[in-house]
Amino acid sequence: STMWTIILALSAVALAAYYLSGFGNPFKKHGIPYRKSLPIVGCSWDLFYQRETVADIMQYNYNLHKDAKYVVYYEFMQPVFVIRDIELIKSITVKNFEHFVNHQTLITGDSDLLFSKNLFILKDDEWRNLRNAASPTFTTSKIKSMFVLMNDCAKRYGELLSKLPDDKKVLELKDVFTRCTNDIIASCTFGINVDSMTDRENKFYVYGRQATNFGRTNIIKFFMARHFPFLYKLFRIKIVDPKIEKFFMDVVTENIKTRVEKGISRPDMIQLLMETKGKELTVEDIISQVFIFYVGGLENVSTMMCFAAHEVGINPKIQKKLQDEIDDALAKNDGEITYEAMNGMKYLDAVVNETLRHYPIAAVTDRKCTKRVCIGNRFVVEEGSYIQIPIYGLQHDSQYFENPDTFDPERFMDKSKKFNSGAYLPFGLGPRVCIGNRFALLKTKVLLFHLFAKCTLKPCEKTRIPLQLTRSASAMIAEDGYWFQIEPRREICPVHVHSDSGSKVY
């Protein structure tokens, strides 16, 4: 047995040397820039071993060859084409969309009901039908109807943070923003009122945090679902814990049942999706959509809020300019903020846009070729090819953004600081762009508005400058949290907060 062990070890070393040298690599033969990979695992070990942040890994792949239109690396044994050229990206996502309708396979079948039927996962006609059915939920009028729910919740949090006792003013913002985001989404999506600052262990918050834990275990599960779906199905692996799945399924099912029986109508996502049920959407479809909006919103919006608050908090000039715009909006609207007034706030918009550029929600997005096609002059994409669009790489490329590593909202205000809008893709591009992007943007703006209307952030001893990203997650998250001292503002425009007992002015 010792001899066989030696033979296998030597074979593995020889195979590794063969791969690393590039011999037999079709991309080397054709002069295509590629990243040398390990046998079998390809370059996937970077994420598993967690030696680098996800941003560093994607940036390394993007910069393999700075003059190339695309480069290649291996994800396990599958080649991944990283498209660096903006025109090729437009061609793939828009012009030749019919050849690139789908994302790479992630989860299929019924083993994960909460994931397998959502818009990001579905393919071809199933995706088209559900997208067409769900699109009316995100029209301007429907989003505007949910603004009131968001605004009331965000105002309460702004008021709470402005009245913290002296010994509680130093806070880790991720916890606070996740709780606030949880309450807003519970209201706007499920029609349920939750107070996560008071009831700190409520099931919505606890299960939501568990469902958004994208550490090493879930990274392995996602990779298995993508590259070894037969094993994923064979072992009946589930991304979502069964008790969490049951909780959310019961909540939505009972919610729908109660509304139908009692004729209840509320301006939230379940209601809007219910209005299309019977036409194209089933109850299972509704459950899957509201769950993915909840999970995606809980993690993405709270993290986006943290990055935005961090950059504003360490830049006094940016904070002052943002607060001046907020005060002006309140003064013009008698202490209230309306949907229209918030959408007219150019600097708030610029702060959020720059946050999404500097810290995109997703470092990459992808497509899978469903039919052989030639795009550009010479780029032939074979059926089954895996295409990756490097959002983080593009948005940190000095060719497209001046001083890309500097947080500068003015680049979205000052027309003289031009940048190539084709390289700004925080929510993707084309028909498969994130359907909930306006919903996510509004939640973020409402939260930032009420935070800086009532409070000023000041760096404290625990504030990391510059911010360091963690290597222990598949998403961009700060290594040591987002710590700030929160101080109440003085001499500010009063904000009207509605309650059951009437309107109060603070």
| Residue 262 contacts residue 146 (beta carbons within 8 Å) | no
CB atoms within 10 A of CB 267: 16
The helix (run of H) or strand (run of E) holding residue 441 is helix 437-454
Judged on CB neighbours under 10 Å (0-12, 13-18, 19+), 500 is: exposed
**Residue 27: closest CA among 84, 80, 76:** 80
**Residue 400: closest CA among 89, 70, 86, 87:** 86
| Residue 286 contacts residue 252 (beta carbons within 8 Å) | yes
| Residue 290 contacts residue 281 (beta carbons within 8 Å) | no
Of the chain, the end-to-end C-alpha distance in Å amounts to: 78
CB atoms within 10 A of CB 39: 15
Distance CA 310, CA 82 (A): 31
Distance CA 257, CA 153 (A): 26
Task: Determine the residue type at 16.
Answer: A
| Residue 296 contacts residue 185 (beta carbons within 8 Å) | no
| Residue 184 contacts residue 444 (beta carbons within 8 Å) | no
Report whether 374 belongs to an annotated binding site: no
| Residue 373 contacts residue 358 (beta carbons within 8 Å) | no
Q: Which residues contact 249 (CB under 8 A, 6 or more apart)?
A: 113, 114, 287
The helix (run of H) or strand (run of E) holding residue 170 is strand 170-172
Angle between helices 173-185 and 437-454 (to 10 degrees): 130
Distance CA 364, CA 393 (A): 8
> Residue 235 carries which DSSP code?
T
* Secondary structure (DSSP) of 256-294: HHHHHHHT---SSHHHHHHTTBTTTB-HHHHHHHHHHHH
Distance CA 131, CA 117 (A): 11
Q: How far is CA 218 from CA 94, 133, 420, in A?
A: 31, 30, 35
**Residue 481: closest CA among 226, 166, 172:** 172
Helix and strand totals (H; E) in the chain: 20, 11
Two tokens, residue 448: 């930032």
Give the side-chain half-sphere CA count within 13 A for 114: 26
- As annotated, the binding site includes 434
What residues are designated binding site for heme? 434
